Chain A
Amino acid sequence: GAVVSQHPSWVICKSGTSVKIECRSLDFQATTMFWYRQFPKQSLMLMATSNEGSKATYEQGVEKDKFLINHASLTLSTLTVTSAHPEDSSFYICSARSGTGNTEAFFGQGTRLTVV
């Protein structure tokens, strides 16, 4: 299957700083990328959908000014957590798909963010 890579795998940052997480599709062009958040022992919640060259579409309740998403190319999307606080500590997972219709999205390995 197609490979999606996230970087970093884990990051610790100080409260008030910003953190950028990268999601790359390594062997296909990702027209759409999705960002999910997962709290410990909980399910994945979709945060936003990004299409290459367009503004991201955020799910209800997700602060777009806090979670900045950029999808500048067909192989890279970034999620920036701005002014991070301890409650932003979570596992962030991206997925990417090419095309539409009967195409699945492939998931990255996730990024563990800890804000201290």
Chain B
Amino acid sequence: AQSVTQPDIHITVSEGASLELRCNYSYGATPYLFWYVQSPGQGLQLLLKYFSGDTLVQGIKGFEAEFKRSQSSFNLRKPSVHWSDAAEYFCAVGSYNQGGKLIFGQGTELSVKP
């Protein structure tokens, strides 16, 4: 079955500390992978995406993610977290064969402490 797992429901990091949010997927076809951020009551903002090519992807707001096919993972990282990064983060997977529809992970809530 196709699925996306974000093992961490809630993470708290100190401002300025590094961050890694985990994402694992199970998908039959070649996956397209995405990370989105959502502030309370808001829609989704795309942080970065992976379709093909370089497995280390750079995104907006200083985020990056690395696609590791052997581990079925697409973890999101940021070297230094800012208080404004506090939000809900969703990993999603799709594919060309699925016509663009996405399967989302359950989300990781990030809190940033001063």
Contacts and interface: CB of A to CB of B under 8 A. Distances in A.
Contacts of A6: 43
B99 A100 contact: yes
Interface residues of B, number: 23
23 contacts: A6-B43, A32-B100, A34-B100, A34-B101, A34-B102, A43-B90, A43-B107, A44-B44, A44-B102, A45-B104, A46-B101, A46-B103, A49-B99, A95-B44, A100-B100, A101-B96, A102-B32, A102-B51, A102-B96, A104-B34, A104-B49, A104-B100, A107-B46
Main secondary structure of the interface of A (DSSP, over half): strand
A1 B44 CA distance: 13
B100 A43 contact: no
Interface of A: 1, 6, 32, 34, 36, 42-46, 49, 91, 93, 95, 97, 100-110, 112
Contact of B43 (A93, A100, A101): A93
B101 A1 contact: no
Interface of B: 32, 34, 36, 41-46, 49, 51-52, 90, 96, 99-107
B39 to A, nearest CB: 10
B46 A43 contact: no
